[in-house]
Structure 1
Amino acid sequence: MNLLFFILSYLIGNFTAAYILGKVLLNKDIRKMGSGNAGATNALRSFGPVIGVTTLLMDLLKGVLALYLADKFGDQYSVYYAAVGVILGHNWPVFFGFKGGKGIATSAGVLIYLDIRIFAIVIAIFIITVAISRYVSLGSVLAAASAPICAYILAFKTKPYTFYVILLLAIIAIYKHRTNIVRLLNKTENKIKFKEK
């Protein structure tokens, strides 16, 4: 049963908003623009704030949706399978040549459903970091690194699997940002700019 929720969530994750919105509204392929990443940050840079923010919200909501369906129709462990499935589907979507996003917005949706307290702390770290540095990648990496720490403190005693899944998702997120980390260290990473395209 849980394998079915994993597969369903993977398919939900395959709904690549940045690609779909870019093709439908502008007839452009996000994977051939900017960083080539099919996520909200590249959508913001390449298509402007309207599509960028819409992508962010849609990516976040699919994380919530995947866990909601697993929670409603599965058992106590189904949400964890769904959490991993939806992130893998977003990051490596089979229907889009395994070229997806980096999973930050979708991970945020997962955190909202798993534990809103962890989400609140992590999103605060992300917002403060980006506001000060203007590096979305730095905010994403620090948020990802802080998530399992928060999960261990707040949830490990009562929901150990929440910690284990969040730790796994954090590792995936940081791995997906490995080239950004190199550019940050080399001081060649691009800062976020808010311009209408």
Structure 2
Amino acid sequence: MLKYIVFALLSYLFGSISFAYIICKKYYGIDIRKYGSGNPGTTNVLRTVGTRAAALVYIADFSKGFLAVMIGRLFGGPIFGVFCGLFAIIGHDYSLFLGFNGGKGIATSMGVGFAISPLAALLSTLAGGAVIFLTRYVSLGSITGITLFPIFLGIFGYKSLYIFYALIMAAIAVYRHKSNIKRLLEGKENKLGQKK
């Protein structure tokens, strides 16, 4: 039990590192939380400062999830790795260093997903990307991809505990997108390339 508590805390703190905030502050001299949607994540960085910074943020946030799973796996096996990955996502979404606020967790969740099942994560990413391409709604593509991930795990025969953790990941992501969902239903959501 002590190991779970310690690693949950460490994973949470690791996930709490906001690369969107760090990169924008260091290289662009801005607090990303005060621009655009106010969300310290890839999409807002893309809209606010551009592609290069957004790519760096995505890779860094993805790596948080991926590494949390891999490190957890070394110390406690595959399922323990997913447990650690889940707490890295929670840290990203509710960062201690940003007053328990944060991003929406898609990049970090995909990092966890690729550590669990590269094929299921790839298919989820492609599906989400297709939705973004067709609709230009990043939020809709993100929600689509993350909700398909546990379904693909089930199709590929993963154990129920993996699917359970993936469902929690999806539920957190959908909850974090609740304002986007409201705007989508109202026809007010911003499309990719459209200024906030």
Q: Distance in 1 between matches of 2:186 and 2:126?
A: 26
> 1-side partners of 2:143 and 2:119: how far apart?
19
Which position in structure 2 is the counterpart of 1:70? Answer: 72
Equivalent-residue separation in structure 1 for 2:88 and 2:78 (angstroms): 17
In structure 1, the residue corresponding to 2:156 is in which secondary structure? helix
Q: Which whole-Å deviations, capped at 9, do the CAs of 1:32-68 have from their partners, x for residues lacking one?
A: 1111111100010111111011101110011111111
| Residue type of the alignment partner of 2:181 | I
In the other structure, the counterpart of 1:110 is: 112
Q: Is the 8 A contact 1:2 1:77 kept in 2?
A: no
Unaligned runs of 5+ in 2: none
The 1:37/1:46 distance shift into structure 2, 3 A limit, reads same
Give, in whole Å, the separation in 1 of the partners of 2:115 and 2:40: 23
What is residue 24 of structure 1 aligned with on the other side?
Answer: 26
Q: What is the root-mean-square deviation of aligned Cα atoms in Å? A: 1.4
1:185 aligns with 185
How far did 1:76 drift? 4.2
Change (3 A) 1:8 1:148: same
Give the partner amino acid of 2:105: G
Greater relative contact order: 1 or 2 (C-alpha under 8 angstroms, separation 6 or more)? 1
1:173 paired residue number? 173
C-alpha separation between the residues in 2 aligned to 1:184 and 1:167? 22
Which residue identity lines up with residue 63 of structure 1 in the other structure?
A: G
TM-score normalised over the length of structure 1 = 0.94
CA deviation string 1:126-159 (max 9, x = no partner)? 1111111111001011112212211222234xx2
Q: Which amino acid aligns with 2:185?
A: L
Map of 1:124 onto structure 2: 126
- TM-superposed deviation, 1:187: 1.0
Asked whether the 8 Å contact 1:126–1:139 carries over to 2, the reply is yes
Change (3 A) 1:190 1:165: same
Letter in 1 for 2:9: I
- Paired residue for 1:47, among 24, 45, 49? 49
Using the size of structure 2 for normalisation, the TM-score is 0.94
Deviations 1:91-130 (A, max 9, x none): 0001111121000000000000011121011001111111
Distance in 2 between the 1:136 and 1:155 partners?
29
Gaps of 5+ in 1: none
Runs ≥4 in structure 1, deviation > 4 angstroms? Answer: none
